[in-house]
Structure formats: C-alpha cells, structure tokens
Structure 1
C-alpha cells in the first residue's frame, strides 16, 4: 500500500487532530522530530509532518495489511447459504 498512498495534508493530516499528527510523527520518525509540532498551529504542524513523513512509508492502521481468515471466500458463503435453505422446510 505504501506504493499508492502517502500521508499528506490533503490525504490525512488535515483530517486529524494536532495531537494525532504528533503521535504519528513520534511513531514514524522520532519523539525529537515530533516535539516542535506542539508549538505550531495545526496547519503549520501538518505541513512539517508531511515533510517528515514523506519517505517513511507510514500508513494509518486502517491501511495496514491484516490477516485474512482462510475461509473468507464468496464460494463458501454461497455454499453455506444454499445448505441452510435446504435445511429449512417451508
């Protein structure tokens, strides 16, 4: 996903709080890099954070790969639906 998405002001930073911006920079870069963000206005902090995050490959939790269950397929869901219809006599 890091090939397709970057944390920019437009894509992410303008939509979260200044505290969240500092938290992200702390995780992706360092606490020392995030410290100056607290003394700036949100717009300035977002601009600084965009520069700091540009080459880190950081992604928000929602975009990070998670394990997919092994039985996650449309075919198995359809088979279960057909079997349940056969069990219910109308």
Structure 2
C-alpha cells in the first residue's frame, strides 16, 4: 500500500527532517519526493510505501498533521488509491 503526503507552508529549516523522522520511526519508506520553494513558500509531495508501517494509518495521519500544526504547515496524507480517484474525476 502506498500513500501521498502533501506539505504546504512558509519555508523554514528542518521541514524535511521532521517529516522524515516521523516516517522513519514508523517504518514508512519514502519512494519518491518532489519539493520546491516558491518565493517564501515551501511545497512538497512524497510517495511513501505503507506496507510495513508500525502504526495504524490514522495514527500516522495524526502524527503528521500534529507536526504540521506545531511548525505552521499543512501536512496531509492520503492513501494512493484515494488520491488517484480524487484527481481523475
């Protein structure tokens, strides 16, 4: 099972580190990543492998969203099949 993580907000030091730390601690592998900074705004999409995740999907979602609130970013995760369905309509 795969997931898509999206991150949007003001650029600051440590964004990728913080997200990667949460993913690593929960045995989630990053398979692809695209990120850019447009003026002061950071945007990133990650394709992650959830096959061996140590926690429930909703728990991982909460961990990522809480980290986003903590540092002032929007961080969302969706299962790949839901992401594809939403963007094919």
- Structure 1 or 2: more strand by fraction: 2
Structure-2-length-normalised TM-score: 0.31
Structure-1-length-normalised TM-score: 0.31
